[in-house]
Structure 1
C-alpha cells in the first residue's frame, strides 16, 4: 500500500489514541474537580488535532471526505474497544461488538463505488 494511503491511517490512529484519552481517560479519576479535568483534556486534545488535521489534509489527496470520516469512525471504535478493556477495565459485551460491527459495515459501504 503506497505511503500516501497509509500515512493518513497512521495519523488517524495516533490522533484517536490522544482523543480517547482526552474524552474518557478522566473517568478513572471521578473524584477530580471538573475544571482541571476539562483543562487537561483540552491539552491532550491539542495533540489530537496536531495529528488529525494533517491526516485529513494528506488523506484528502487520495480519499474523499466521507471516506476519511468512515475510516476515522472505524479507527475510533477499535481504539476505544482496546482502551475500554485495558484502561477502564470495562471490556465490551456482545451487543457493543454487534453495534460496532454495524458501524463498520456502514463505513465499508462508503468505500463502494
Structure 2
C-alpha cells in the first residue's frame, strides 16, 4: 500500500516516489503497527503474571520489577512513538491484573 501510495503522491506532487513511500510507511507504522505492538506487550505482561501466579509466584512481584525498571530507565519517549507501553500505563495495568490473579496465587500456594 505504501509503494502504491508513494507512487501516487510522487506523481501528484512531482516528487520521488521513494519519498512518498517513506512518508506513508512512517504514518502506517505510527498509526497501525506501534499500537498493536503495545497491545502485544500488554498481553505478554498479563500472561506472564498469570503463569507466575499459577506457579505459586507472587504476582505483585511484577509490579515491584517494573517500578525498579522505571527508576533505572530514565526518561521515555511519548507512548504513541514507542512499541512498548509507558512505564506508568504498564504499572497501572499490572496493578489491576496482579490483583485479578491473586486468587490463582493463593490456590497454588495452598496446593504446595
Q: Work out whether the TM-score is over 0.5.
A: no
User: Which is bigger in relative contact order (C-alpha 8 A, separation at least 6)?
Assistant: 1
Q: Which has the larger radius of gyration?
A: 2
Query: What TM-score, normalized to structure 1?
Result: 0.35
TM-score with structure 2 setting the length: 0.35
